Amino acid sequence: NRLDPESQTFKPYRHDPGDDRSISSDRVLAVYQDRYNVLWIGTENGGLNRFDPVTDSFLHYRNEPGNINSLSSDAAWNITEGKDGSLWVATMGGGLNRWYLADRKAGREIFHKYQKAQGLQSNTIYAVLEDREGFLWLSSNRGLSRLDPSDGSLSNYDRFNGLKGDEFNAGAYLKTRAGQLYFGSVEGVLTFSPELLTKNQHPPDIVLSVRSREKLLASVSSNDTRVPEKLVFAYDDDYIDFSFTALDFASPHMNQYRYILKGFDKDWNTVRKQRSVTYTNLPAGQYVFKVKASNNDGVWNETGAALPFSVKPAPWLSPGAFVIYALLLGGLIYSYKKAQDRKQQLVQQYSAKLEAQVEDRTQELYERNQQLNHLNEMLKEMSVTDSLTGLKNRRYLYEFIEPRVAAVNRRVEDTQKDRVVSGKIDITPSIFFVMIDLDGFKPINDAYGHAAGDQVLMQVRDVLRASCRDSDVIIRWGGDEFLVVGENNNIHAAERLAERIRRNLAEFQYQVGEGHTVTLSGSIGFSMYPFSVHGKADQMSWEQVIAIADDAAYTAKKNGRNAWVGVYGTRKSSWEDFASANVDLVSLAARGHILLTTSLVSLSEAVEAKQQKKLQKPAV
């Protein structure tokens, strides 16, 4: 809407599919006026819009598949202008976009991207704030990042740097006149003054080790004053492994390394997580392996650590070998037959030796690869697991849900004609999302302490595992909230699961130590993807379905707790019904915008009462 100050009236602007000069979407997420008084509008699924007050119309800037210069995503969540005039557009799934002032003035639609490939922790950016020094601070669903626009360098901050959590919220950001920055997260509000943040100025010490054939040959440190003894490798030492580590533990996963083998590599190699390198079959010569390292804030130990070594030539390439060759040549002239026999014998022995070495090395490489694969699987599992309960976390959901949603979409397309039979709801194939919000957990923490609260959460985990099917996925959503994701096999599967969880949570006696027991219950809400059997599978995203399940859990808590509420879509359903801050599910059910099932008799009666009132209302 646009307000006319003189007449005090609003003029609405709506998306018109038949008018390509109308606003690209009705879902407006951001409005920003730049230094030239140009008004920019960010939308959820229509990209970036520029308002032209002369023609009272809009220009669209959207993602174009195959065009690397276009906007990276159509979900433009936040817009801001930097000190140099660059327009910064934060997106969902597309990272951060930069539109230089010179390109904007010239009408060149060239958006420069900053994504995970450039060092961001996530491609979902919620907000952008510029501090007094011109640095950009980005909030995301995986921590906070600082971008230096002058060179594109990035510094990432997460819970290992002092943040209470890595998940921030969209639209929750503020910069005060004093330069103080505020960001809202699921763990509360983060506030700080960027100029007061201290940088880790300590160049890390480096430890460098070298092995061959699984044997440690030498180990040096960057702070050693002595010159390391030069190593000598034989020609058949064809497997040389260097391992190195930076002794800085502020955020060790952000340490970086550069290494070079002088005499072999042409330039430095930069790595982050890799802390070892292997060279095989080095030719004879003189070498120096050198490694440098930085701490989590990019301060490098430029001196580094180094190990000099040499590789001897094979015996048949040494000067003495050539003398022997000359003698053998003379012997061949003297006794050709005898020399041929001897030569054949030597060749057979050497071939057998090489074959044995190849088999040994092949087995070594196989075993090492198996070890590395095992370690990688362990690290991957840790990254998607809640450290307290051992359940899956939110990050696992993002990796696990997309293939299941895609499979459901395909099955829905195959069965679309048979999904409504005789007025009955057929919700298969579909995925249910069950949100559980514990009732009475905070008083337990207050009365018995956080250690007892942690003990209760692990018992809740056991109750949920006993209540759910083996195929269901249980996720700790955060704090005292849990999410269960599973596939429907019939219309009542989610309802039976919700009731089973509600009953088991309420009946369980939770141990809090020293012989004390407590009870608690759960307010449960669930919904389905696809949301409505009458519309397209992607009528609402799975993220929006989770938000509806959360609204249902809140409704159960608001109407008495220890209950469940389920929400199904109808032909009238749309996301706008749930976009407001206070969603009234009873009213939506009474108007036929949703179908509501619940264990609360009072809630069902409230829906019926509103429906009866609507039917009894006299026609005008």
In the annotation, is 480 catalytic?
yes
Six-digit token string for 316: 């048949």
Cα–Cα nearest to 484, from 472, 492, 493: 472
Distance, C-alpha 247 to centroid of its chain: 27
Tokens of 31: 């409005």
User: Helices (H), strands (E): how many in the chain?
Assistant: 10, 36
Which residue out of 237, 480, 550, 577 is catalytically annotated?
480
- Within 8 A by CB and 6+ apart from 168, the residues are 126, 127, 139, 140, 141, 144, 183, 184, 185, 186, 190
| Tokens matching residue 524 | 């449960």
Tokens 């510029």: give the residue: 130
* DSSP three-state, residue 563: strand
DSSP string, 39-71: EEEEESSS-EEEEETTTTEEEEE---TT-TTS-
Q: Virtual CA dihedral for 14, 20, 21, 23, nearest 10 degrees?
A: 30
CB distance 399 to 384 below 8 Å: yes
* Sequence-separated (6 or more) residues with CB below 8 Å from residue 100: 85, 86, 110, 112
Q: Which two tokens stand for residue 281?
A: 């079959």
3-state class percentages of the chain: helix first, strand second, coil last, to nearest 5: 30, 30, 35
CB of 500 within 8 A of CB of 486?
A: no
Q: Which token pair is 61?
A: 């800037």
d(CA 203, CA 85): 35
Locate all alpha helices (DSSP H) within 335-449, ordered by sequence: 336-383, 394-415, 441-448
The one-letter amino acid code at 570 reads T
The label of the residue with tokens 């007061």 reads: 196
Which two three-digit tokens encode residue 55?
């023609």
Supply the DSSP string of 457-474, one letter for each residue: HHHHHHHHHHHS-TT-EE
Cα distance between residue 530 and residue 46, in whole Å: 22
Q: What residues act catalytically?
A: 480
